[in-house]
């Protein structure tokens, strides 16, 4: 070098070496500030400069400009340099709109920069930061077995699935260190889950303020064995309606008149509910008159305080709706078959469906739903298919003229049959649909639907249209028997709703029964008061004398007068007696009559919770609230919500029916209990604490 260092400065030669003051000298010894050419400090090695250029926008400020989208970015401001990381992100993450469109066109998803000689280089790597430790998930063998057992219970998987080769291979790939479990291990865990959940449910039942009502249904198997499933319905300590399976027991001889008595007795004994039974609901599909008679006798013994066992419902609400729907479909089977074949003709061919939709557009039919082929096992599916097809009947008529191969078109009479059928099918569907909600409805919800069906069928049976009357009359006769069997209990339940009370019952019975309405209404009123007396008698510490006065709810006792008080000699002693009597009547007016005499609540809110109302008023009505809780928990349907529209009874598959009765009961009961979450699973935080270990490097 020809230069030398003087006074802390670096002299440069004519080759442009930078001096100690940061000034660059040209060949002409001219000084240029760094603001003019900052990029001359050092050679730019970053790959981003293939996509960016630098531009001096002002003294001391240089910006980087994207060659593709011309967007500028901060680069150097004074003595601060922004670096190139944000420039790399602009290209590699697809932020640049020009580069993003190019990537989409070339189906590229990552930024692939090229070097100066045109070869492809690797994308810029993210800088790895050192961490104080690493996180590894430790295998918890016991928890894995528990989750497998829960999976089998919740989803009805075969219990021997843990021995299936496909599942074994999947588990090995998922966690090579997992020791595959045997059927016996899974069975033991299933029993353990069942035991824990049963203990939790037993604790809940021990705390309920009222009684438990039971429903009983019959399941069958390929071996012609019967299984009785008993479900308990009750109001818990938080005033929420619960529905839990309590017993699943084999009935070797389901045609025996006393077989179901044994099932009920074993359920009550196992759960300690002998003194807490309120009502029992069965269905005539398996419970004939002899079976019902035996069950009624059993109920009168186990529940003698509750009107000698009168609360036995011999018809399942959901099954009644299914029988009515199937009877209606059967009465129009020929028209239904033509519509079903027509829908299938259109749906099985894409070209035919396109033709159908074009005709639909030409006719400008505003109905938007598409045709569906029904599942004949689910009667709501058939109703859905018919209702859609009925709205599109004009399109089917045009298809008959447009497609020479279409020879299945229903006639006008057929469409009339379908229209009438859909009107009454909607009544049954709406009535059954209330059972498909997330939570089981209170007993007060059923009166409206049953009463509406009864009135509509009665009106249809008297129709001036001969076809309608002939179609509806058999349905009305079937439903009228169910109505008369359960209308009193239904009315007692709706009377416990403060929005309706007995006013709705009186109004509805007058419309349904006509001149007999007053007699039926009086039966409901008397039944309520008689039942209330039972609850009052159970709350009294000592026997009391009750005087029956038309069951008006007045509990009369002798008036205690002050021994020092003497009647005044003014000739009004009879007036004093009168005042004493009316005062005594006012003071001893029953909770039931106080409740019934109060004004109705407005019906404006659709979110009204009748149980919440009774929870808030249980202090005002301590005895009546217990009675209301038991009445509102009366179950009218014996099947679960997922079986409401089934046309076939529940049947066990060959694998489940081959299991031991104890194993089968554990699976069925635990399945129901886990769905309701009687025992909460571990939280994510608990699992993380249990499974994650921190290992310091």
Q: Where are the alpha helices (H) located in 287-332, listed in sequence order? A: 289-302, 317-331
Contact (CB, 8 A) for 74 and 63: yes
**Where exactly are the structural domains of the chain?**
47-95, 141-270+659-690, 442-538+610-636
- DSSP-derived letter for residue 72 is E
In this prediction, residue 304 carries a pLDDT of 60
In three-state secondary structure terms, 399 is helix
State the SS3 of 575-596.
HHHHHHHHHHHHHCECHHHHHH
pLDDT of residue 31: 40
3-state secondary structure of 75: strand
Query: To the nearest whole percent, how much of the chain has pLDDT over 90?
Result: 45
Say what the pLDDT of residue 578 is.
Answer: 52
First to last CA, the chain: 51
Question: 643 near 119, Cβ under 8 Å?
Answer: no
Q: Which of 294, 209, 229 is nearest to 256 (CA)?
A: 294
Burial class for 545, CB neighbours closer than 10 Å (0-12, 13-18, 19+): exposed
Q: Give kind and range of the element (H or E) at residue 492.
A: helix 466-494
- Cα dihedral sign, 331-333-339-343: positive
pLDDT at residue 87 is higher than 90: no
Contact 652, 226 (CB under 8 A): no
Contacts of 20 (CB under 8 A, 6+ apart): 5, 8, 9, 10
Residue 244 Ramachandran class (φ > 0 left, ψ -120 to 50 alpha, else beta): beta
Q: Using one digit for the tens of pLDDT, what is the confidence trace for 449-491? A: 999 999 999 999 999 999 999 999 999 999 999 999 999 999 9
Calculate mean pLDDT across residues 244-261: 85
- The whole-angstrom separation of Cα 670 and Cα 246 is 10
pLDDT in tens, 162-177: 889 998 888 888 888 8
Distance CA(188)–CA(636), nearest Å, equals 36
- pLDDT given for residue 151 in this prediction: 93
Average pLDDT (233-254) is 91
Phi-psi domain of 206 (left: phi exceeds 0; alpha: psi -120 through 50; beta: other)? alpha
Choose between 375 and 408: higher pLDDT.
375
| C-alpha dist (Å) from residue 42 to 34, 37, 39, 176, 512 | 12, 11, 7, 53, 99
DSSP 356: H
Calculate Rg over the CA atoms of the chain: 40
Does pLDDT of 685 surpass 70?
no
Q: What pLDDT was estimated at residue 570?
A: 59
The answer to whether residue 85 scores a pLDDT higher than 70 is yes
Task: Tell me what pLDDT residue 632 has.
Answer: 95
Calculate the dihedral angle through the C-alpha atoms of 328, 331, 337, 339, rounding to the nearest 10 degrees. -60
Name the residue among 527, 489, 524 with its Cα closest to residue 503: 524
- pLDDT tens digits, 604-627: 766 889 999 999 999 999 999 999
Residue 1 has pLDDT above 50, yes or no: no
Average pLDDT over the chain, rounded to whole? 79
Beta strands in 200-292 (DSSP E): 212-220, 226-235, 241-251, 277-281
Q: Would you state the pLDDT for residue 346?
A: 93
Torsion (CA) 600, 602, 606, 608 in degrees, nearest 10: -50
pLDDT digits (tens, 9 = 90+) for 424-445: 999 999 999 999 887 789 999 9
CA angle 545, 551, 553 (to 5 degrees): 70
pLDDT digits (tens, 9 = 90+) for 183-228: 888 889 999 999 999 999 999 999 898 899 999 999 988 777 889 9
DSSP letter for each residue of 115-145: -TTS-B-PPPPPPP---SEEEEEPP-HHHHH
Mean pLDDT of 506-513: 94
Cross-strand bridge partners of residue 66: 52
> How many residues does this entry show for the chain?
697
> Residue 442 has what pLDDT?
93
| Mean local confidence (pLDDT), 20-35 | 42
pLDDT at 43 exceeding the cut of 70: no
Query: Per-residue confidence at 136, pLDDT binned at 50, 70, 90?
Result: low
State pLDDT tens for residues 314-342.
899 999 999 999 999 999 999 999 999 99
Any idea what the Cα angle at residue 36 is, between residues 33 and 41, rounded to 5°?
75
Partners of 241 in beta bridges: 235
pLDDT score recorded for residue 104: 52
């Amino acid at each position: 070098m020809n230069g030398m260092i003087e006074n802390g400065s670096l002299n440069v030669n004519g080759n442009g070496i930078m001096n100690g003051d940061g000034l660059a000298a040209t060949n002409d010894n001219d000084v240029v500030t760094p603001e003019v050419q900052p990029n001359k400090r050092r050679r730019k090695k970053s790959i981003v400069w293939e996509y960016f250029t630098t531009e001096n926008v002002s003294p001391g400020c240089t910006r980087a400009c994207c060659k593709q989208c011309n967007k500028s970015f901060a680069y150097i401001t004074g003595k601060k340099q922004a670096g190139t990381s944000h420039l790399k992100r602009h290209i590699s993450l697809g932020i640049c709109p020009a580069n993003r469109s190019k990537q989409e066109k070339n189906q590229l998803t990552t930024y692939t920069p090229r070097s100066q000689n045109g070869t492809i280089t690797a994308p810029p790597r993210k800088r790895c930061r050192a961490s104080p430790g690493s996180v590894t998930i430790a295998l918890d063998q016991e928890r894995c077995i528990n989750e497998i057992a829960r999976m089998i219970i919740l989803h009805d998987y075969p219990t021997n699935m843990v021995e299936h080769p496909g599942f074994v291979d999947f588990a090995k790939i998922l966690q090579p260190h997992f020791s595959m479990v045997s059927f016996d291990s899974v069975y033991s865990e299933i029993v353990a889950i069942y035991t824990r959940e049963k203990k939790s449910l037993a604790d809940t039942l021990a705390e309920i303020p009222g009684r438990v009502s039971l429903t009983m249904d019959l399941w069958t198997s390929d071996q012609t064995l019967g299984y009785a499933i008993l479900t308990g319905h009750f109001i818990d300590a938080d005033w929420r309606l619960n529905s839990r399976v309590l017993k699943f027991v084999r009935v070797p001889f389901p045609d025996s008149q006393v077989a179901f008595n044994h099932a009920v007795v074993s359920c009550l004994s196992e759960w300690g509910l002998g003194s807490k039974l309120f009502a029992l609901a069965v269905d005539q599909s398996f419970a004939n008159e002899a079976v019902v008679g035996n069950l009624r006798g059993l109920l009168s013994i186990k529940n003698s305080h509750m009107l000698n066992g009168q609360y036995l419902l011999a018809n399942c609400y959901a099954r009644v709706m299914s029988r009515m729907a199937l009877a209606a479909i059967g009465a129009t089977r020929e028209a239904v078959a033509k519509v079903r074949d027509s829908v299938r003709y259109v749906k099985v061919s894409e070209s035919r469906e396109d033709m159908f939709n074009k005709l639909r557009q030409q006719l400008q039919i505003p109905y938007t739903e598409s045709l569906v082929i029904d599942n004949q096992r689910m009667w709501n599916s058939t109703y859905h298919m018919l209702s859609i097809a009925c709205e599109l009947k004009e399109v089917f008529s045009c298809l008959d003229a447009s497609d020479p191969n279409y020879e299945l078109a229903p006639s006008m009479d057929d469409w009339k049959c379908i229209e009438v059928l859909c009107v009454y099918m909607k009544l049954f569907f709406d009535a059954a649909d209330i059972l498909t909600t997330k939570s089981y409805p209170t007993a007060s919800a059923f009166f409206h639907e049953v009463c509406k069906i009864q009135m509509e069928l009665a009106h249809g049976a008297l129709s001036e249209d001969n076809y309608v009357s002939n179609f509806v009359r058999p349905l009305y006769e079937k439903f009228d028997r169910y109505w008369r069997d359960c209308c009193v209990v239904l009315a007692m339940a709706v009377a416990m709703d403060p929005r309706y009370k007995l006013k709705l019952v009186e109004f509805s019975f007058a419309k349904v029964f006509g001149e007999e309405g007053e007699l039926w209404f009086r039966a409901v009123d008397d039944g309520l008061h008689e039942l209330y007396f039972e609850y009052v008698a159970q709350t009294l510490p000592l026997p009391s004398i009750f005087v029956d006065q038309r069951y008006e709810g007045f509990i009369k006792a002798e008036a205690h007068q002050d021994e020092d008080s003497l009647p005044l000699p003014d000739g009004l002693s009879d007036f004093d007696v009168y005042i004493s009597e009316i005062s005594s009547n006012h003071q001893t007016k029953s909770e039931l009559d106080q409740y019934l005499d109060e004004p109705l609540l407005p019906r404006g809110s659709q979110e009204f919770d009748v149980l919440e109302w009774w929870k808030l008023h249980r202090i005002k009505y301590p005895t009546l609230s217990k009675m209301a809780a038991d009445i509102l928990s009366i179950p009218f349907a014996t099947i679960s919500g997922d079986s409401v529209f089934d046309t076939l009874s529940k049947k066990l598959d060959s694998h489940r029916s081959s299991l031991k009765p104890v194993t089968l009961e554990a699976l069925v009961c635990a399945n129901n209990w886990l769905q309701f979450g009687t025992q909460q699973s571990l939280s994510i935080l608990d699992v993380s604490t249990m499974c994650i270990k921190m290992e310091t490097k």
